[in-house]
Structure 1
Amino acid sequence: MTGLLPFSRRGIAAVLGGLLLLLAFDLPAAAKEQRVHGQGRLFKVTAAGVPPSHVFATMHATDPDVLHIPPPVARAFDASTRVLLELVTTPGIEARMAEAMLLPDGASLAEVAGPEIYAKLLRRAAVYGLPAKQVSRFRPWAAALIFSVPVSELNRTASGVMALDRSLQQAADARGKKVFGLETIDEQIALFSDMPEPEQIVSLGLTLDLNPNIDALFAEMKQAYIAGDLDKLHAMSLSMLGNNVDLVESFEKRFIEMRNRRMVERMARHVNQGGAFVAVGALHLSGENGILRLLEKRGYKITRVH
């Protein structure tokens, strides 16, 4: 269907956003838990004596509905003096990510993943128009990211459509706003590369099993995002992992809680100056260990705007 190289300069943006898709699928057994700050997409952060800042929940996607910016969000963005993103994307960063996705020379994903999972991988690769020689070079976590993204997302990215986070970065640059990253590319790569290989392979298998239904799953996730239902997004992320307690704990600690603490620590100085617009993935906002609650614990007042 498409000959897109997933690690090309344009395609890499979709892969960078694959984590949210990979870990946010809804299964029938999902139990929706009411969490602190579990509803909303835009929140005002008030600190004494400075203009307010805002935290905006993003979805790492190119879908037109996701790219639509509601008026309250646009006003908060326009009023900001600096924009904070999970990662500031540059061509050098894209190349670094592409390099990290590949196995060492001479290694093959067929040997790493085993015959059963690799056979599934080849079947899904054929649907995506990716040759076996190409996919055999990916590390397990990289293959999981690629097949967590619908073909439509990859095609839009290949045609030059930017994901929401990247479009916010471009808008900030165009208006002369200062742009800061809350994480480095090496930190984001380490989230995956430091995963034990057995966990990577299990995640790849789960992703390949879900991939035939990815369009419907993506649509359901998008609907929850647009509705600002952060509680549902959290339930979706955990239910995708099924009854694998180790994976659930690893996901919560590695991909959410550890990163939340790191990002709050780095955004604090900007919030203290006021006028910051913080855009991070929706899964990072809610819950007792979410970014919004961590900011409250530091003495900031959090108010839902949208």
Structure 2
Amino acid sequence: MTFMTRLKTSASDLARHAVGAAFGVALTAALVGSLPTTALAQTPAATVSTPAPRAEGAGPALWAIRDADSTLYLYGTVHVLRPTTAWGSDHVDAAFDSATRLILEVSNPDDQAAAMPLIQQYGISPETPLSSLLTVDELEALDVAARSMGLTAAQLDPMRPWLVALTLSVAPLTKAGYDPQSGVDLLLKARAEAAGKTVTGFETIDEQIRILAGFPEAGQLDFLRSTLEDFEDATVELDKLVTAWADGDVEAIETIGVEPMRDASELMYQSLLVNRNANWAGQIETLLEGSGTVFIAVGAAHLAGDDSVQSMLAARGVTVERVLN
């Protein structure tokens, strides 16, 4: 099985789910910012002064880790949302308000200026243009997809396959009304800053981008080809994932957003989820050595499945309890 053989369901499974609930809000925001306005929905994004619409039920899942002098809340996010998505809940608001510190995947998810040089460094390769890697038919399909975004295949030619695949993945989502400015991470960061909370990150934008850029070229090309196959159905899988997340259905998140990633590629699964979850679990253990209340918000895919952050903490003897209404 090649790197992305089973991504017929696919660009959804890596790109939509990575963009949606695994990682990449800063990268996504930078890609959205680089798209022509014809590729974007003209929908006002949410702001810190606009509370999230209230979820009909309990809302997205929340967990707590406690010891004698610490409380760490663990909350799964979706990095891009429609402004109308209902996800607000009283118990999450109470947990967030009680914290003095917010930890995100990266401390600066809204810093497009930091992301763009990294995208150019790791995502542009004019010495190996796409036109030298794709067949004539694939280049024609790429041009059709690019033109729907207000671009051409020639404009994408200097990009590495991973970057083109993500660009093609982001554009249909934005056209359908998804926006990183309405994503949970940016709204929580804005609220934290307005309340005077400290905001830090588990990793850096550079580390995130280098994960994608480090995939083998053959795998990047498979990713791009499957993205082209799935281009017209871009929002279907993310819509399902958002519904599961907003309902607090962690098992469905695992089925929709975690298992297909592992089925597609063990390398991708280990790189995007397992290795990062292990790193974060270690940082959470260190946090428990201190004191105070911290609210941790990371992509929801990291908090579902056998290799979730909670499972790794449990294996280290740390008790993680789900917080209910």
- Per mean C-alpha deviation after superposition, the further-off stretch among 56-65 and 126-135 is 126-135
Q: Partner of 1:275 in structure 2?
A: 293
Counterparts of 1:1-306 in structure 2, within 5 Å, are 11-12=30-31, 41-66=60-85, 68-89=87-108, 90-100=111-121, 102-153=123-174, 161-237=181-257, 240=260, 247-272=264-289, 273-306=291-324
Separation of aligned partners in 2, 1:172 and 1:154: 29
Q: Which amino acid letter does the alignment assign opposite residue 102 of structure 2?
A: V
Separation of aligned partners in 2, 1:177 and 1:232: 32
Indicate if the aligned counterparts of 2:62 and 2:73 stay in contact, CA closer than 8 A: yes
Separation of aligned partners in 2, 1:249 and 1:10: 27
Q: Which amino acid letter does the alignment assign opposite residue 148 of structure 1?
A: S
Separation of aligned partners in 2, 1:8 and 1:52: 31
**Structure 1 residue 92, shift from structure 2 partner:** 4.0
| CA distance 1:65–1:294, shift in 2 (3 Å) | farther
TM-score by length of 2: 0.74
- CA displacement 1:157-198 (0-9 Å, x = unmatched): 88x934221221222122111111111122211211111110
Separation of aligned partners in 1, 2:214 and 2:27: 23
- CA displacement 1:205-253 (0-9 Å, x = unmatched): 1122112011333322221221222322222236656xxx884211221
RMSD over aligned Cα, in angstroms? 3.0
Secondary structure in structure 2 of the residue aligned to 1:275: strand
| CA distance 1:9–1:240, shift in 2 (3 Å) | closer
Indicate if the aligned counterparts of 1:125 and 1:131 stay in contact, CA closer than 8 A: yes
| CA distance 1:130–1:8, shift in 2 (3 Å) | farther
**Structure 1 residue 133, shift from structure 2 partner:** 3.1
Q: Partner of 1:26 in structure 2?
A: none
**Structure 1 residue 139, shift from structure 2 partner:** 1.3
| CA distance 1:256–1:10, shift in 2 (3 Å) | closer
- Per mean C-alpha deviation after superposition, the further-off stretch among 198-207 and 215-224 is 215-224
- Per mean C-alpha deviation after superposition, the further-off stretch among 81-90 and 212-221 is 212-221
Separation of aligned partners in 2, 1:9 and 1:210: 19
Separation of aligned partners in 2, 1:112 and 1:182: 36
Runs of 4 or more off by more than 6 Å in structure 1?
A: none
Indicate if the aligned counterparts of 1:14 and 1:163 stay in contact, CA closer than 8 A: no
Indicate if the aligned counterparts of 1:14 and 1:61 stay in contact, CA closer than 8 A: no
Q: Which amino acid letter does the alignment assign opposite residue 133 of structure 2?
A: V
Separation of aligned partners in 2, 1:220 and 1:8: 22
Higher RCO (CA < 8 A, seq sep 6+): 1
| CA distance 1:297–1:152, shift in 2 (3 Å) | closer
Indicate if the aligned counterparts of 2:107 and 2:200 stay in contact, CA closer than 8 A: yes
Q: Which amino acid letter does the alignment assign opposite residue 166 of structure 1?
A: L
- Per mean C-alpha deviation after superposition, the further-off stretch among 104-113 and 196-205 is 104-113
Q: Which amino acid letter does the alignment assign opposite residue 120 of structure 2?
A: E
Indicate if the aligned counterparts of 1:141 and 1:201 stay in contact, CA closer than 8 A: yes
- Per mean C-alpha deviation after superposition, the further-off stretch among 139-148 and 268-277 is 268-277
| CA distance 1:103–1:46, shift in 2 (3 Å) | closer
- Identify unmatched segments of 5+ residues in structure 1: 1-6, 16-38
Separation of aligned partners in 2, 1:207 and 1:52: 41
**Structure 1 residue 153, shift from structure 2 partner:** 2.2
